[in-house]
A and B are shown apart, each in its own frame.
Chain A
Amino acid sequence: MGLRFRRAIHFHPGVQTVFIPARLPPTTTMAGRTGARVLALPPETVLKHPVATLRDIDATLDPDAVWVLGRSREPTAAARVRHTVDAPVIHPPLETGDDPLSRRSIGDELAFAVARSASALRAGDGIRSASDRNEDEREVDALICDDIATTTRPTALETSLDHAAELAAALPTGRTTTVLSGGLPAGYDERWHVNAETGTVRTVEHDPLLSPDSVANDCVAVRVRGAGPVDGYGGPNAVVELEFAADGLVSSTAHAASDFGLEAISGIGPKTAGRLAECGVTTRSELLETPVAALADIEGIGPKGARRMHRYATVLETGEPRRVGDASLPGEHWSTPPLCLDIETDGLSPTIIWQIGVYDPSTDTYRAFVERDDPADRASVLRAFCDWLLGVHPNRALLTWNGWGFDYRHLGAFVARHCPAYAAEWESIPKFDLYLWADGDDNALLPGRTNELDVVAAELGYDGAATGLDGARTAAAYQRFMRTGDESELDWDRHEAYCEDDCRALWHVYERLRDAPQVSVSAGSSASGTASSSSTAEQASGEQTGLGDF
């Protein structure tokens, strides 16, 4: 399952990967276009963070274009990005040209129509399908219009699409046009069918991958996709990365701006970053060049903070993890290593755990338990897993990445409910959470911009299977299977490979941490043993999510 969390210590907003399925069926197929990446940034984010942070965002995500969102003109923000980033900048209100709908090409293969505002949609010629136009002029991949949003009226139980009438007037009938808007959060993906004549909404498709309705000839279909900030636990994740493949927009990922630049170092917030900048320190390498003693003199940092910053900056810059203190890794001294576990569900409020993957490092073997036949059967997979685990490996511990935030919690609840006979045994199995040990209990410093397993593992040199999947995608795929009962909805091998990859990545991280150098610990570190009992783990995981009130 894909994880959504962040550096725990300061509850920074973190990364949120949002899966946007590819456009199906592709209305037009344009071959040869791969991997174009557009970055969507709200003007507030651009203005609030130092230029060095923008540079780090640019260097890290390497966009082919930057779209500065805007319902209103923000020339300063646009200029700031132009000055910082070496890619074309789109800021709709400032797009020039005679046509209110300007056309922007990104590289050779990606082209957008950009509307300065919703009213511009009415003013222009609209967007015509390829056949209406000169054959030479390729149609655009999407229309960018930041005014497109939804309005919800709970008292009427209605959600409407803003400017549906303008869209109906501007877009070609009888087919689907993709509209990108910063007015909706990244991950928003709904296909609205709007009557071309009246602008009234006829129907809305929620899963464009699943047997899309054909578009009536008197309708325009608008696949509305969000590129705006996504609210997270610690605040908005406003840096949105849009990935385009040959057949259109594939995925969007929302990052927190504070995962970049100096603020990526735990302990440095906007205030401290400002003070550091006054002393000429704007990047992590500059920080490392500044002696600890000099940092310690800066207001609000002190010697302890300065040492910690240095350590962390070193880890981020070198990509080498460090262990803090002398706590042993969970299960480090056991005669057999723990079993690496990962589960897949049908969503964040799961109704089924349909895949349980276990990697055994001692034999380098992988075992998967998958419900391929009957998605209504919640028990079989669990029972098979418990039979195997308790029968074949009665004395092994389990290892997960953020298991107390997800895997153990749901497995515990599902075993208790669907296999009550195993509930007590399940309780007694030792369960380790490597993420909790490293980050929650402050026993290690991890490289990588976020704490997601794949990011950390990649940073530590793990060469993954590149299945192109994440937890949300596999969940969405399984939901489609549940809905249609059609086994061909899933590329089962690929989904199993994904789960296996996570289990192996986990063991890779474990090994790298086992071999990582230790740094001396300053007073006050909570290097108490590991999370081998559910009690301390649960308590700590409560702290790790920063949401104590449960």
Chain B
Amino acid sequence: MGIDTDSDTDVEGDKDKDGDGDGDGSTDTDADVDTDRSSGRTDDRQNVPITGDELLETFPRARSRESDDVSILELPGRDASAVPNAEVLRPELADPLDDDLYTHQAAALRALGRGENVCVATSTASGKTRIYALQIARHYLDARARGDGTDATAYVCYPTKALSRDQERELNDFYDTLGLDISVRVYDGDTERGDTRRHIREEADVIITNFAGVNTYLHDHDRWARFLSACELVVVDESHTYTGVHGMHVAWIVRRLKRVLEYYDADPQFVLTSATIGNPGAHSSSLVGEPVTVVDEDGSPTGPRELVLWNPPPQAREESDEEHASGSSGDETPADGGEDAITDRVPATVEAPKLLSHLAYHDAQTLLFTPSRKLAELSVKRASKHRRDRSRYYANPDRGSAIEPYHAGHSRRNRHGTEHRLKTGLLDGVASTNALELGINVGEMDATVQLGYPGQRQSFWQQLGRAGRGTKRALSVLVAGHRTLDQYVVNNPDYLLETDVEDAVVDTENDAVFARHLLCAADELALDESDGSAAGFADRDRLERAVEMWRRAGRLAGYLETGVSYTGPPRPQGSISLYATTGEEYAVELAEGVDERHDPEMEPLAEERVLRDFHEGAVRLHEGKQYEVCAVDHTTPRPSVTLRPTDVDYYTRTRTDVTVLDAVSEESRDIGSVRLHFGRGRVLVYHGTYDKVAVHGGQKKERMIPTENPPLSMETQLCWLEVPDRVETALVEKYREFSVPELDGGLAETAHLGYAGGLHAAEHATIGVAPLELMVDKRDLGGLATLSIDSHLATATENGETDARENANATPQNIAAAEATVREIASELEHEPASGWFIYDGIDGGLGFSRAIYENFEAVAARARDLIADCDCGHIDGCPACVMDDQCGNNNRPLHRDAAVDVLDQVLGNADVDDLEPYLPDDEFGGDRRPPLFYA
């Protein structure tokens, strides 16, 4: 498979960058900090107005559904477990508080009292904010008691600006309740420049910001001297959102902040709050570079909940047409509308709004979570249309019909209005992006509906937590989409109930990201030997290598003994993009002569993105408007993409070819009968051609149009496995009858094709299910299945050192040349190569994802095996829900599910090599000569 290109992602994906909403985030913080926990809704019903069974009873046509299409799970509630305030808090703090502390709050405050760093990883609405709010209050009182005029300040970082504003209010209210004069101020890109900013820097006790802000403000740390010198607490709220590329940047920004704090003799504690993740301790320590005490025994109460897993019914003809018509508004993902998709069920995008409408009709205040802003808007319309279409059933059309959309695209005032109407019960339902998964205070809902599985368990539970807070009973419905993960989840409900959740991956090994932050660090304070010590910025060797690199490039000057300072263009902080590894970003410009009002106002694009989605001729959808890319300028230092608005009946989809070269193994281990490796190498990605795909019906109008793109070359981290010879030989025999008649290149009849299809399918599946175990974005992973792993490895030189080939630095300019290179290496091999597949990080320098997969391979392989074996598509080459991938560079051919299951059984030890004995040919060396095939 290639790197996923979801043509819908730019609608939301780019917006994520503005950090004011739909980012992948979640929180529990709303209102908990406030002592008054009563909601604005006055009725105190203990039960939701409609149960899961009643939903099945009443929903139109639901009674005739296949029984295994809908399952209802009963989740028990949990009683509160509390500790009297006075046991933990001094009287000034304990007395004004009405509610006791939950046990986890008490445990965290005790650890903080001992001077430890703490990560609180508990459920939604468990009152995590109160923990750091109280610790800030303790520091404030201590400072007041010192009486020497010194302050105690706290730096609080939230993932989004919207959340910052919300929490500023909540914290100020909380300190009013405590009767403490602690000033809490937001300081971010929206804060008025000049006097306002200066006053905040010079006077605020608590400054709320985000990490993009911290990155910028460190440049002028002398202006922050008062605040930083007095800093006793740094809060990283929603810390689980910092994973992948973003997480790496945040980890380095925290390290730069610590350097500057140390310069001002400040040594603050860290508090991290996190959704429930698999590895809160390891993740937190990676982020802040210090040991962190984990508090995850949740003492807050929850009510019982019914969880309905709802696989939409088979598609009726007319509904299919309706769906395609609505696809013209461009909000559907290609997976829903693409020609390869098997859309035999009603899409979740159509079914979920109906459920929202239905639940609201039955008096359950309902929150629908949608994956995009456009879908939030559309769902409200569809909910209302559902009423009209079923006017006989919904006799009173106005009942429960106050339903509104909510997302970060709306003005702040508008959103506040919606929040308020939700809280006061004026609204019956809201369709929202994950902007409301974040901890904005909207009171508690009766029910939630999820339009598709949100991708991760922690996010899934976070959204569910929006309904039935406290001990109230709640109803939650997950409407499954066509995607691999959705189908896996509804078919394996146990997965959701397992106690362990995904590990969050943050990696500081990426040298490209490290090197950029090193320039910023040198600009902030000269680098010296202390930066290369054990507790320093980086280990000595890495520091020296990076300093040497930048000195040779003329960007740093001086020596570590006496101080290394920055000498490049002003403000290196400005070139840090928190979502890319290299600084080189493409500006998005409007074509000359086009009216300014058409300006898409898009954020700059990373190179990977430009090559994939913004080649010349590409048609992109942005905020519901179509744009055509009319020019791409790759010349540094100011590359750009030029767009003009357009109105055509197609979108474009890029074809992707991939190969791996010069991989070097750094670690390996045996698992089952295969050998697993982790290492580094070069991945070449060719977005060489693209197709024009009709918006209506998904027909390809034009194929294989050249993009004129240069190849994308990445030095990255990889994980790969080698299947042992005997297993391969047996499986080749077992599946040698398999053929793919339409396959190009005369390979349709190759004996190895069935086995190769198995590797290819197993590769797709392992990547597809990786998000079930790890907080990784599938789009940041790529893979390559190959019959000759060795052709993709660096060859050993005579002196025994592994080294790239002589012309290693020459990048093959197209996939044909790359294939030729691989064939050439294959022909020079002196031994029979091993077969297997690679999984790589699709970001220059790597993200730590492949490493995490290497370490958790058994779990990932087990999920992949179940996914393939349990899929009821009935096709040997699978379906989009199991092994097909809509971004496969080889058009999902060949794929072989049974062969994939056999391979994975070998990995998992489910089967022994000897089990394959019957398939081994009598003549052990008589196999066909293998072709050096590889499939992305």
Contacts and interface: CB of A to CB of B under 8 A. Distances in A.
Interface of A: 150, 152-159, 161, 184-185, 187-190, 204, 206, 226, 230-233, 346-351, 375, 409-410, 412-413, 416-417, 479, 482-483, 535, 538-539, 542, 547-550
A483 B553 contact: no
Given A154-B516, A535-B198, A206 B264 contact: no
Nearest to B544: A157
A157 B193 contact: no
B563 A535 contact: no
Contacts of A549: 189, 193, 216
A346 B528 CA distance: 13
Contact of A157 (B223, B515, B525, B526): B515
A198 to B, nearest CB: 13
A388 B252 CA distance: 43
Contacts of B222: 409-410, 412-413
Interface string B202-243: 000000000000001101101101000100000000000000
A318 to B, nearest CB: 33
User: What are the 6 closest A-B residue pairs judged by CB atoms, nearest first?
Assistant: A231-B569, A159-B552, A550-B220, A155-B715, A154-B512, A347-B565
A192 B512 CA distance: 24
Interface-centre pick from A154, A349, A482 (highest chain B CB count, 10 A): A154
Contacts of A206: 551, 557, 559
Nearest to A155: B715
B57 to A, nearest CB: 58
Contact of A483 (B516, B549, B561): B561
Interface-centre pick from B512, B523, B552 (highest chain A CB count, 10 A): B552
Given A349-B566, A535-B198, 11 more contacts: A152-B552, A154-B515, A159-B548, A204-B551, A347-B557, A347-B565, A348-B567, A349-B524, A410-B222, A417-B264, A539-B195
Contacts of B550: 152, 159
A231 B636 CA distance: 13
B194 interface: yes
A413 B225 contact: yes
Nearest to B191: A549
Contacts of A548: 193
Contacts of B559: 206, 483
Given A153-B715, A350-B526, A190 B551 contact: yes
B553 A479 contact: no
Nearest to B220: A550
Given A157-B542, A185-B554, A479-B562, A347 B526 contact: yes
B570 interface: yes
Contacts of B833: none
Nearest to A547: B571
Contacts of B548: 157, 159, 204
Contacts of A187: 554, 567
Nearest to A190: B552
Nearest to B568: A231
Interface in B530-572: 542, 545-546, 548-554, 557-559, 561-563, 565-571
B570 A346 contact: no
18 contacts: A154-B515, A155-B510, A155-B845, A157-B548, A158-B549, A188-B554, A204-B548, A206-B557, A233-B570, A233-B571, A346-B562, A347-B526, A349-B563, A351-B563, A412-B222, A416-B229, A483-B561, A535-B198
Given A157-B545, A347-B526, A190 B565 contact: no
B129 to A, nearest CB: 28
B523 A349 contact: yes
Contacts of A417: 263-264
A479 B558 contact: yes
B47 interface: no
B811 interface: no
Contact of B193 (A156, A233, A348, A542): A542
A211 to B, nearest CB: 13
A501 to B, nearest CB: 24
A185 B219 CA distance: 23
A187 B217 CA distance: 28
A348 B522 CA distance: 10
B555 to A, nearest CB: 8
Contacts of B845: 154-155
B78 to A, nearest CB: 46
A538 B223 CA distance: 9
Contacts of B194: 539, 542
Contacts of B750: none
B844 interface: yes
A142 to B, nearest CB: 18
Nearest to B846: A155
A279 to B, nearest CB: 25
A158 B550 CA distance: 8
Task: Determine chain A's interface SS by DSSP, over half rule.
Answer: mixed
A184 B558 contact: no
Given A410-B222, A550-B216, A347 B563 contact: yes
A349 B552 contact: no
B689 interface: no
Given A188-B554, A538-B223, A159 B216 contact: no
A109 to B, nearest CB: 28
B511 A156 contact: yes
B896 to A, nearest CB: 35
A409 B220 CA distance: 10
B553 A232 contact: no
A204 B551 CA distance: 9
Contacts of B525: 349
B530 to A, nearest CB: 11
Contacts of A547: 570-571
B890 interface: no
Given A416-B225, A538-B223, A349 B526 contact: yes
Nearest to A408: B222
B279 interface: no
Contacts of A161: 552
Contacts of B565: 347-349
A431 B528 CA distance: 32
Contacts of A413: 222, 225
B326 interface: no
B769 to A, nearest CB: 28
B71 interface: no
Contacts of A150: 552-554
B906 to A, nearest CB: 34
A412 B222 CA distance: 8
Nearest to A534: B198
A375 B542 CA distance: 27
B582 interface: yes
B461 to A, nearest CB: 36
B186 to A, nearest CB: 15
Nearest to B528: A351
A160 B563 CA distance: 24
Nearest to B201: A550
Contacts of A479: 558, 562-563
Nearest to B561: A483
Contacts of B220: 550
A409 B559 CA distance: 24
Contacts of B189: 549
A188 B551 CA distance: 10
Given A187-B554, A549-B216, A154 B524 contact: no
A321 to B, nearest CB: 28
A550 B523 CA distance: 14
A483 B569 contact: no
A204 B552 CA distance: 7
Nearest to A412: B222
B566 A538 contact: no
B161 to A, nearest CB: 14
A350 B524 CA distance: 10
A375 B561 CA distance: 12
B557 A154 contact: no
A152 B193 contact: no
Contacts of B558: 347, 479
A98 B845 CA distance: 46
